[in-house]
Chain A
Amino acid sequence: MKSGKNNKTDGKKLLQRPMVRIAGLVALAGVVCGAMLLPKSAAVQAYLTQRKIDAVIADYADKVVLHTLERVVAKNEALNGAVAQLQANPTDAGVEEAAKAWRAARAQWQPIQSFAFGPAAFYDFDKQVASWPIDRPMIEHSIAQIAAGTLAIDSGLLRRKINSTQRGFFTAEHLLFRDGKPRKAAAIRPAELLYLKAVTQAIVEESLDFQASWAGSANLPPAAAARLKAAQLPERPSYAAEFAHPGAPGSRYFSRSVVLQEMFQESHTVVEDVCPLIEQWLGSTDPRDSESQDSRNAASDLVNLLQGVENAYLGGVEGNRGRAMAELVAAKDEVIDRRIRIALADVRYRINAVGDPYGEPAADHELKVRIAAASCWKLANKFAAAIVPVCMDPATEPWAAYVPSTAL
Chain B
Amino acid sequence: MQWNDQWNSMAGAVWARVFAAALIGLMASAPAAAAGPQTESELLAVLAGKAIEPGLAKAAAASQELAESARSLCKQKNDEALKQTRLAWKQAYLAWRTAQPMMLQGKEYKAEQLLEHWPANEAVMNGATASKELTHLLANPDVRGFAGAEYLLFAPAGVDEATTAGRCDHLQSVVAEIADQAATNQLQWRRQAPAFVAAGDGTPYLLPGDALSLVFARMLNVAERLLRDRICAPSGFFEGKAKTELLEAWRSDASRQSFQASIDGLRRLLLGNGEGAVVDLVAVKDGLVSKRNPQLAEDVRKQLERIDAQLAALKDGNGLRKDLQQDDKVLQPLYKSIEKLQKQIVEASLSLEVDVRGPGETQM
Q: Does A52 contact B (CB under 8 A)?
A: no
Q: Does B362 contact A (CB under 8 A)?
A: yes
CA distance in complex: A251, B261 (Å): 61
Chain B binder among A10-18, A69-77, A301-309, A330-338: A330-338
Give B108-152 as 1s and 0s: 1 = Cβ < 8 Å from A's Cβ atoms: 000000000000000000000000000000000000000000000
Contact, CB under 8 Å: B289 / A345: yes
Chain A binder among B19-27, B200-208, B222-230, B263-271: B200-208
Shortest C-beta distance, A371 to chain B (Å), equals 5
Chain B binder among A40-48, A120-128, A156-164, A381-389: A381-389
A-contacting residues, B305-364, CB 8 Å: 346, 350, 353, 355, 357-358, 360-362, 364
Which of B207, B350, B360, B364 is within 8 Å of A377, CB to CB? B364
The answer to whether A343 and B360 touch (CB under 8 A), given A335-B346, A349-B288, A374-B206, is no
Q: Does A323 contact B (CB under 8 A)?
A: no
CA distance in complex: A370, B355 (Å): 16
Contact, CB under 8 Å: B361 / A385: yes
Give B277-308 as 1s and 0s: 1 = Cβ < 8 Å from A's Cβ atoms: 00000000001111000000000000000000
Which of B202, B210, B362 is within 8 Å of A381, CB to CB? B362
The answer to whether A333 and B358 touch (CB under 8 A), given A338-B350, A374-B206, A378-B364, is yes
Which of B202, B289, B360 is within 8 Å of A370, CB to CB? B202
The answer to whether A342 and B289 touch (CB under 8 A), given A335-B346, A335-B350, A367-B206, is yes
What residues of A have a CB within 8 angstroms of the CB of B355 in the complex?
Answer: 339, 343, 378
CA distance in complex: A296, B250 (Å): 68
Q: Does A183 contact B (CB under 8 A)?
A: no
Shortest C-beta distance, B343 to chain A (Å), equals 9
What residues of B have a CB within 8 angstroms of the CB of A338 in the complex?
Answer: 289, 350
What residues of B have a CB within 8 angstroms of the CB of A385 in the complex?
Answer: 358, 360-361
The answer to whether A342 and B353 touch (CB under 8 A), given A367-B201, A381-B364, A384-B362, is yes
CA distance in complex: A349, B346 (Å): 23
Give B23-62 as 1s and 0s: 1 = Cβ < 8 Å from A's Cβ atoms: 0000000000000000000000000000000000000000
Q: Does A262 contact B (CB under 8 A)?
A: no
CA distance in complex: A207, B290 (Å): 37
What residues of B have a CB within 8 angstroms of the CB of A333 in the complex?
Answer: 358
Which of A342, A343, A367, A384 is within 8 Å of B202, CB to CB? A367
What residues of A have a CB within 8 angstroms of the CB of B364 in the complex?
Answer: 374, 377-378, 381
Q: Does A341 contact B (CB under 8 A)?
A: yes
The answer to whether A345 and B288 touch (CB under 8 A), given A333-B358, A335-B350, A384-B361, is yes
Q: Does A97 contact B (CB under 8 A)?
A: no
Q: Does A346 contact B (CB under 8 A)?
A: yes
What residues of B have a CB within 8 angstroms of the CB of A371 in the complex?
Answer: 202, 206-207
- Chain A's closest residue to B357 (CB) is A381
What residues of A have a CB within 8 angstroms of the CB of B202 in the complex?
Answer: 367, 370-371
- Chain B's closest residue to A335 (CB) is B346
What residues of A have a CB within 8 angstroms of the CB of B361 in the complex?
Answer: 381-382, 384-385
Contact, CB under 8 Å: A339 / B350: yes
Give A378-408 as 1s and 0s: 1 = Cβ < 8 Å from B's Cβ atoms: 1001101100100000000000000000000
What residues of A have a CB within 8 angstroms of the CB of B362 in the complex?
Answer: 381, 384
Give A169-194 as 1s and 0s: 1 = Cβ < 8 Å from B's Cβ atoms: 00000000000000000000000000
The answer to whether A346 and B350 touch (CB under 8 A), given A378-B364, A385-B358, is no
B-contacting residues, A314-354, CB 8 Å: 333, 335-336, 338-339, 341-343, 345-346, 349
Shortest C-beta distance, A368 to chain B (Å), equals 9
- Chain B's closest residue to A372 (CB) is B206
What residues of A have a CB within 8 angstroms of the CB of B210 in the complex?
Answer: 374
Residue among B201, B210, B355, B362 with max Cβ neighbours from chain A (10 Å): B355
CA distance in complex: A221, B274 (Å): 67
What residues of B have a CB within 8 angstroms of the CB of A370 in the complex?
Answer: 202, 206
A-contacting residues, B198-245, CB 8 Å: 201-202, 206-207, 210
Contact, CB under 8 Å: A346 / B346: no
CA distance in complex: A382, B206 (Å): 19
CA distance in complex: A341, B287 (Å): 12
CA distance in complex: A339, B350 (Å): 7
What residues of A have a CB within 8 angstroms of the CB of B358 in the complex?
Answer: 333, 335-336, 339, 385
What residues of B have a CB within 8 angstroms of the CB of A367 in the complex?
Answer: 201-202, 206
What residues of A have a CB within 8 angstroms of the CB of B287 in the complex?
Answer: 342
Shortest C-beta distance, A53 to chain B (Å), equals 21
What residues of B have a CB within 8 angstroms of the CB of A382 in the complex?
Answer: 361
What residues of B have a CB within 8 angstroms of the CB of A384 in the complex?
Answer: 361-362
What residues of B have a CB within 8 angstroms of the CB of A343 in the complex?
Answer: 355
- Chain A's closest residue to B352 (CB) is A342
Shortest C-beta distance, A306 to chain B (Å), equals 13
Shortest C-beta distance, A337 to chain B (Å), equals 10
CA distance in complex: A55, B357 (Å): 30
What residues of B have a CB within 8 angstroms of the CB of A378 in the complex?
Answer: 355, 364
Shortest C-beta distance, B206 to chain A (Å), equals 5
Contact, CB under 8 Å: B350 / A342: yes
What residues of B have a CB within 8 angstroms of the CB of A388 in the complex?
Answer: 360
- Chain A's closest residue to B346 (CB) is A335
CA distance in complex: A141, B201 (Å): 51
Contact, CB under 8 Å: A341 / B346: no
Contact, CB under 8 Å: A341 / B360: no
Shortest C-beta distance, B289 to chain A (Å), equals 5
- Chain B's closest residue to A374 (CB) is B206
Shortest C-beta distance, A320 to chain B (Å), equals 20
Shortest C-beta distance, A237 to chain B (Å), equals 39
Apart from A345-B288, A378-B355, 7 more pairs, CB < 8 Å = A346-B353, A349-B288, A370-B202, A374-B207, A374-B364, A377-B364, A381-B361
The list of the 9 closest CB pairs from A to B, nearest first, reads: A345-B288, A367-B202, A385-B360, A385-B361, A371-B206, A381-B361, A342-B289, A345-B289, A342-B353
Subset of 19 A-B contacts with CB under 8 Å? A335-B346, A335-B350, A338-B289, A338-B350, A339-B350, A339-B355, A339-B358, A341-B289, A342-B288, A342-B289, A342-B290, A345-B288, A346-B353, A370-B202, A371-B202, A374-B364, A381-B357, A381-B362, A385-B360
